[in-house]
Amino acid sequence: EHPGMVTTGSPGQLHLTGVPGLQHLHPWISIPFCVMYLVTLAGNSSLLCLVRADPSLHLPMFLFLSMLAVIDLVMSTSITPKMLGIFWFHSTAISLDACLTQMYFVHAFSVMESGVLVAMALDRYMAICNPLRYLSILTSPVVAAIGLATLLRAVVFMSPLTFQICHLPLCSPPVVDHSYCEHMAVLKLACGDAAFSSTYSLSVSTYVGSFDSLLIALSYALILRAVLSLSSPQARKKAFSTCSSHLCVMALFYIPGLLSMYMERYHQELPPHVQVLLADLYLLIPPALNPLIYGIRSKQIRDGARRAFSWRRPMAGGTDPRQGLQGTGMRLVKTKAIP
């Protein structure tokens, strides 16, 4: 065996370069990355606590939003602490097992996030275009089944990818020109034939990105068609604003991710830092924005937050304010949902 060879059978270490060519700017790059991570932690954790504590938010829309929050927390935490370690402390070393684990988590949870975004788009379509049957169709078992299906799809798609790279010999120098263990970047270290792994990775990413974004676009097109039939200009304007903000966040998730992968495969002459920053941003920006776009802009979430902060405040007659407000919220929803 070559003395510089790193294989899965040896306790090898890899080294992540961070953002290639911009190492001198790492302290500055770390500032927005750290801010986005803190926003991600605060926003998604608060959202999960709020949905769990408020029974009036135990509706399909907010259950899907909770799934998205969990995925965002796991995906961000799997890469950002290590990235900040590279930027701040030059801690570039990562064990091969940890690298493969990080790679699996990043790509599997990206596929899961895409699936949940589709589910949320379909949920909005049902709520707006078929409100009378909304709660009777999207029952809790159906929501759980959709969540399980997104998990299984990610496992089925990503397991062969990790399995094959585990069995490829990796050559020296064991340096990954990336800020995390991205599949295509790690694959460049392979000594063996990596054509299948590369083609499979590109095919899965293209399929997931194009198929899921097509379903999302179709859902929102039907939603917008229903919105255009509204008589109130204010209602139309609010619906357009909501849909456009949702689509912008989704575009920030799909477009940079696919661009970084295609550039990694076909445009080696482009600056490496462009590819790496695109791959970083598609994993960092959406998790930070999702709680703001889907959560704070939602009236139910804002009302739930107000109830959470004011539930201890005494009311006339000693009534718990949470119960009255939650009951009203559920009655309103159920009234709309019953034919």
Tens digit of each residue's pLDDT (9 = 90 or more) over 295-306: 777 778 888 888
- Evaluate whether 257 touches 284 at the Cβ level (below 8 Å): no
**2 pLDDT exceeds 50?**
no
**6 pLDDT exceeds 50?**
no
**74 pLDDT exceeds 50?**
yes
**311 pLDDT exceeds 70?**
no
> And the tokens for 195?
């054509």
Does a cis peptide bond (omega within 30 degrees of 0) precede residue 60?
Answer: no
pLDDT for res 278: 85
Task: Report which residue type is found at 18.
Answer: G
Question: Which of 114, 93, 72 lies closest to 18 in space, CA to CA?
Answer: 93
- End-to-end Cα, the chain, rounded Å: 72
Q: Residue 292: is it exposed, middle or buried by C-beta count within 10 angstroms (0-12/13-18/19+)?
A: middle
The kind and range of the H/E element at 338 are: none
% residues pLDDT > 70 (the chain) = 85
Question: Which of 253, 332, 337 lies closest to 289 in space, CA to CA?
Answer: 253
The kind and range of the H/E element at 94 are: strand 93-95
Instruction: Give dist(CA 42, CA 37) in Å, integer.
Output: 9
pLDDT for res 267: 57
> And the tokens for 35?
């801010």
**144 pLDDT exceeds 90?**
yes
> And the tokens for 290?
């999702």
Q: Residue 226: is it exposed, middle or buried by C-beta count within 10 angstroms (0-12/13-18/19+)?
A: middle
Helices (H), 12-133: 26-53, 60-89, 96-129
Give residue 80's pLDDT band: very low, low, confident or very high (50, 70, 90): very high
Question: Which of 39, 33, 32 lies closest to 80 in space, CA to CA?
Answer: 33
Residue range 152-179: mean pLDDT, rounded: 89
**280 pLDDT exceeds 80?**
yes
**324 pLDDT exceeds 70?**
no
pLDDT for res 323: 38
**191 pLDDT exceeds 50?**
yes
**8 pLDDT exceeds 70?**
no
Instruction: Give dist(CA 312, CA 329) in Å, integer.
Output: 19
Higher pLDDT, 336 or 111: 111
- Domain 13-312 belongs in CATH node 1.20.1070.10: yes
> And the tokens for 40?
């991600």
Q: Residue ranges of the domains in the chain?
A: 13-312
Helices (H), the chain: 26-53, 60-89, 96-129, 134-137, 140-166, 183-187, 195-228, 233-266, 272-290, 299-310, 321-337
Place of tokens 């270490």: 13
Contacts of 125 by beta carbon, 8 Å cutoff, 6+ apart: 219, 220, 222, 223
> And the tokens for 315?
């009311």
pLDDT for res 62: 92
**319 pLDDT exceeds 70?**
no
pLDDT for res 136: 92
- Cα–chain-centroid distance for residue 317? 45
pLDDT for res 295: 77
Task: Report which residue type is found at 223.
Answer: I
Give residue 64's pLDDT band: very low, low, confident or very high (50, 70, 90): very high
pLDDT for res 66: 95
**256 pLDDT exceeds 50?**
yes
3-state secondary structure of 70: helix
* pLDDT tens readout for residues 151-160: 999 999 999 9
Residue range 114-119: mean pLDDT, rounded: 94
Laid out side by side, the sheet with 175-176 consists of 93-95, 13-16, 175-176
Give residue 131's pLDDT band: very low, low, confident or very high (50, 70, 90): confident
